[in-house]
Structure 1
């Protein structure tokens, strides 16, 4: 496997970018044709794994996210297996690993191709990604533009830095992780669910409104400054 990866990384940037597009397309096709398991059946599977169940949940959840499975399903399943609090924690661990994998794959396969071809407004957009802080990543993550895995691949093709990207990805995923994990736990143990655990899910909507408003104000100030300078 490793020699094949090394040969791939030595290929021209256009070939690597084509491989990235094929990889994303293949994940999308599999997502459509492979049936998803019933979350209520998952606790029995976790019981067979015993003490290895948390590790399997984190690593398996990360692979599912990389394969473009929606984070909502992964978090619901984690909550159904482990309960609202532990399930949310394991789902966030999976999100962190998946974000790192997706970013790295996008960086290795697509960054050089994109950097060689961005011009004009696209170049300014790429520069914006390169200057992004954790706050900027949170803003993009909370916008309903694409799934978790696809955004991770896309970020890797930009000039973004990996540490702010990972931190922003986890922070943005945290509010809804507790809510979806609580809903997942309701599938298997409705009497044991602490519904206050679902409250953080509302923070996602509130945070989105606040972030969009702050971005819009910053954009207006930038345009006003550009107008004065010209």
Structure 2
């Protein structure tokens, strides 16, 4: 199955319908056009004067004599902006929210810092930053007695799979010691997220520094947190937290 990552966000709103969908799709088209112009100038600069950066590597990448097209380069950058930035931001926000809502788990993490990698995996399962992913079938697929024809769009619900009681014992419980934890927050197989190691590293660094520098933290009582208004990502639009720094 394949799907152009550039249109995932627009598709999410399109499926939801409403005037908001039309507005978001229009903004998406406008931003994509602006990015294309901006990227075209950067690509020409890198071709003239290569640098030790990702864009130069993408411009110079070659397989069997073929190089990336302008559309493919644009796709890479849009993917990096959404998959490489927003998802990790949501992972960190979701981690704070999980720990605030489960103080006994936070206390255990503070007592056993070695549990941090396991805690991050449980956040990825319990509050998966990517809740759903669009795919298009390349061939006919039979699944649980149903047949999905070739060329049809499928919405794979990652967040639901990560709470499946057939795969996870006490699936609705947040447990930083969960083992095994075969979640699919980063996908599976040939579609496994290429940025998974970096995302895990960023989460470990960010959360370890936070736990070292603050004595405690809690949701602000004077303003509720607000979830993201989207069907494919899971995070917070607003997360007011009060921190108690260490002396």
Q: Is the strand fraction higher in 1 or 2?
A: 2
Q: Give the TM-score normalised by structure 2.
A: 0.24
Q: Give the TM-score normalised by structure 1.
A: 0.25
Bigger relative contact order (CA 8 A; separation at least 6): 1
> Highest CA radius of gyration, 1 or 2?
2
Q: Is the helix fraction higher in 1 or 2?
A: 1
